[in-house]
């Protein structure tokens, strides 16, 4: 028997939701179904809301100091869900993964340096690099038969130039790839060989499809130097739909790298503790109850993915889907339509009335592609994708 109801439709219009509130600004119309920014239209589970309410029983919300069971919950989750054993001393708070990416770029590179990324990739990777005067060095993913792979030959050529930092997306947004151990092992080896720090954004790690297990980059290797060269970014925000609580964890086993990161987040930005309610939410999330909830969620997302793909393959065979192993954000290819990218964007927004992410924000590889958010009640998803008939 399932415990949680993901079929529940919850009205989010005219709340403080970015996904619903920013439609005019992003799409030039408000008359569409928002299936873009990565949060879910599902209820944050009660055990998290209850933990926040319980904290509010105490009437003072002053600066907080992290407590032992807060760290224990992170350690328990990474070990229990991902076989990743970490120490308390390796954990640093960050208000988000994007701020942590920005800090890594600022402290481990200098202006004018190259930073490696694998496009098409989550667009704030580019902002973290370019908006701080660094250069994006692309190692594009290779697509073969609907699946994505890393191009190690190209990567090694680029690493040989002396790149200091690489931002990895594991699992990969937007192509929905869960990287295998062998791929990550090779990557960890190469980055260490060429003295390139590897930052692994694992915000989607809990959201693999049920048949796929996430593999943390940091445990892909047993070599201590390679392990010490990897920084892992994780968070309960995507998993439990609590992005608004701005609470994530940065895992840095190497004391020298930790010192630099902490100096920036603590001594420069004074951001080393987040909001108190986020910390209580994290502790409630990273628990056995959280495990039950996320497993039911993954089953539900898998059903949504299958229902969408079956429907698209039968009714709109020109829309190409890819092998999707993780995230609730599948990648769709519309190249078979006789439309320019600009026409495609206009038709999707104004004729289909669907607010999808423009593929090109993730890089030029996203031409004629879109990212769709399927974390919504199945009835709503199926109603929405019928609209592709207007393409």
Ligand X SMILES: Cc1ncc(COP(=O)(O)O)c(C=O)c1O
Footprint of ligand X on this chain (CB under 6 A)?
A: 38, 96-98, 122, 169, 173, 201, 203, 235, 237, 243, 248
Q: SS3 of 248, please?
A: strand
- Please, what is the minimum distance in Å from the beta carbon of residue 137 to ligand X? 18
What's the min distance (Å) between Cβ of 242 and ligand X?
A: 10
Task: Report the distance separating Cα 21 and Cα 42, nearest Å.
Answer: 17
**96 vs 359, which CB is nearer to ligand X?**
96
The nearer residue to ligand X, 269 or 292, going by C-beta atoms, is: 269
Point out the residue whose Cβ comes nearest to ligand X: 96
- Identify how many contiguous H helices and E strands the chain contains and give both numbers: 14, 15
The residue among 167 and 388 lying less far from ligand X, judged by its C-beta, is 167
Decide whether 37 or 52 has the Cβ nearer to ligand X. Answer: 37
Q: To 5 degrees, how large is the angle CA 5–CA 8–CA 11?
A: 145
| Token representation of residue 227 | 């392990």
**CB count in 10 Å sphere of residue 60:** 5
User: Considering the complex, what minimum distance in angstroms separates the CB of residue 197 from ligand X?
Assistant: 17
Minimum CB distance to ligand X smaller for 128 or for 384:
128
Looking at the Cβ atoms of 98 and 354, the one nearer to ligand X is: 98
- Asked whether 301 and 38 are in contact (CB, 8 A), the reply is no
Q: How far is the CB of 277 from ligand X (least distance, A)?
A: 16
Nearest distance in Å: CB 336, ligand X:
27
Residue 31 burial by Cβ neighbours in a 10 Å radius (0-12, 13-18, 19+): exposed
Angstrom distance (rounded) from CA 121 to CA 214 = 18
Give the nearest distance from C-beta 167 to ligand X in angstroms: 9
Alpha carbons within 13 A on the beta-carbon side of 12? 20
């Amino acid at each position: 028997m399932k415990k949680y109801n993901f079929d529940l439709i919850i009205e989010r219009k005219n709340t403080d939701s970015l996904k619903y509130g920013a439609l005019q600004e992003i799409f030039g119309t408000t008359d569409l179904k928002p299936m873009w920014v990565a949060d879910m239209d599902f209820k944050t589970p009660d055990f998290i809301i209850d933990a926040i309410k319980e904290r509010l029983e105490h009437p003072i919300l002053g600066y907080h100091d992290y407590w032992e069971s807060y760290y224990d919950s992170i350690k328990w989750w990474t070990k229990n869900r991902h076989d990743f054993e970490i120490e308390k001393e390796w954990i640093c708070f960050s208000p988000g993964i994007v701020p942590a990416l920005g800090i890594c770029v600022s402290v481990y590179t200098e202006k004018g340096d190259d930073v490696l990324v694998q496009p098409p990739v989550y667009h704030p990777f580019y902002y973290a690099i370019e908006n701080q005067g660094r250069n994006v060095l692309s190692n594009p993913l290779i697509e073969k038969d609907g699946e994505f792979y890393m191009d190690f030959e190209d990567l090694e050529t680029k690493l040989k130039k002396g790149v200091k930092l690489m931002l990895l997306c594991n699992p990969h947004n937007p192509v929905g790839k869960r990287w295998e151990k062998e791929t990550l092992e090779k990557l960890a080896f190469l980055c260490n060989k060429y003295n390139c720090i590897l930052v692994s954004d694992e915000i989607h790690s809990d959201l693999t499809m049920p048949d796929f297990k996430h593999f943390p980059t940091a445990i892909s290797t047993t070599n201590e130097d390679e392990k010490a060269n990897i920084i892992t970014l994780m968070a309960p925000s995507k998993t439990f739909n609590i992005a608004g609580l701005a609470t994530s964890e940065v895992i840095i086993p190497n004391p020298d790298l930790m010192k630099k990161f902490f100096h920036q987040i603590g001594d420069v930005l004074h951001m080393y503790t987040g909001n108190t309610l986020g910390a209580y939410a994290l502790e409630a999330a990273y628990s056995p109850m959280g495990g039950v909830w996320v497993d039911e969620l993954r089953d539900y997302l898998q059903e949504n993915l299958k229902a969408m793909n079956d429907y698209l393959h039968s009714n709109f065979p020109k829309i190409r889907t890819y092998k999707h192993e993780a995230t609730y954000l599948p990648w769709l290819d519309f190249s078979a339509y006789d439309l320019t990218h600009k026409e495609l964007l206009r038709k999707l927004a104004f004729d289909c009335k669907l607010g999808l992410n423009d593929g090109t924000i993730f890089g030029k590889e996203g031409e004629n592609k879109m990212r769709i958010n399927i974390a919504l009640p199945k009835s709503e998803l199926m109603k929405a994708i019928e609209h592709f008939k207007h393409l």
